[in-house]
Structure 1
Amino acid sequence: MTQNRPPTNTFAETPRSRCEFYRRVCSLPTVIDPVTGRITMRAGLVGAVMMPTDLAHRVKTRLDVRGVAPLPIIGHPRAAMWTFLVRADIRPIADPEQVARLWEARVVVIREGDIALPSPASDPLMVRTWVSPAISAFRPSGAVILEYAVGCLPRGRGR
């Protein structure tokens, strides 16, 4: 007598299938490193704003209250940072005090270079998770994310 067992790993996710999802559903220009399985994309039309988790959580809460969704947010657990994927609409900041506040708060705007996305491939050097997964082509305004981050910072410089 044989037992009918469901096949194992019939629908296992791979870096390729995840990359295709990012491209087709989320309109993210992703590529796969064939050696590591890392999924990355070049910043350009899509940018990113990275900040410490505690600040990012406050920003996300404010955006949730306003109904801005879905928010594609990547978590970096080892670094205690979150990265918001955004529209690349952030203009250079002219106010030196505001630049200093963002610098001290460890807020980073990514306009150029590679942005790493979560991959199902195991890579102990580069842990990425979705705090809030990319599920569509919607990305919030980078300028709005930055504005909310500034609004969550304490007034005046801490030094």
Structure 2
Amino acid sequence: MLTIRFWAIVVAAMAAASPVFSQAAQQQIEITATVNKACTINGASTGTLDTATIPIDASGNVVTGAITPANAPYANVICNAPSTIQLTSQNGGVKNTATPPSGYTNIIDYQASATWNSATATIDTATIPTANGTESGTAQPVSAGSGSLQVTINPEANSSSLVGGTYSDLLTVLLTPQ
């Protein structure tokens, strides 16, 4: 009997000394973020209004030749995704609001180009002779990147005498993330 008791105690001790099996648990966490596609000029979605003046000679004729806006080139232009670059003329030319008499015109047409990140967008306001509203050039694809934006404006010679007064247009360079 002593032997059975002995072995019972030994078996009980061994059972108590056996390692306890454990079960691991895990929780997976997927971490995500969304970055909006954006283009900025000096950290803003809208650059500061700039000016460019078309020279007119003493006879009232357009002086042709490339001109650049006062603050061009525009540094620190960034698009974080592939985009398009496009030029738009608000008036379809540099326009005087006066109605021109016979033999005169109230429109100065121009060609313009904007180059950024190796892509160039262009516009020629002479393609719509009436200049009755917005005119846009073709949107050009451009890769994501950063750098300076260069804009050049080439006024075209007037074929008729210009009406006296102030002429204006708003040329917009539009960078649109795709």
The TM tier, using the shorter chain, reads: under 0.3
Please report the TM-score for the alignment, with normalisation by the length of structure 1.
0.23
Give the number of the structure whose residues are more often helix, by fraction.
Answer: 1
Higher RCO, Cα 8 Å, sep 6+: 1
Bigger-Rg structure (1/2): 2
Please report the TM-score for the alignment, with normalisation by the length of structure 2.
0.21
Give the number of the structure whose residues are more often strand, by fraction.
Answer: 2
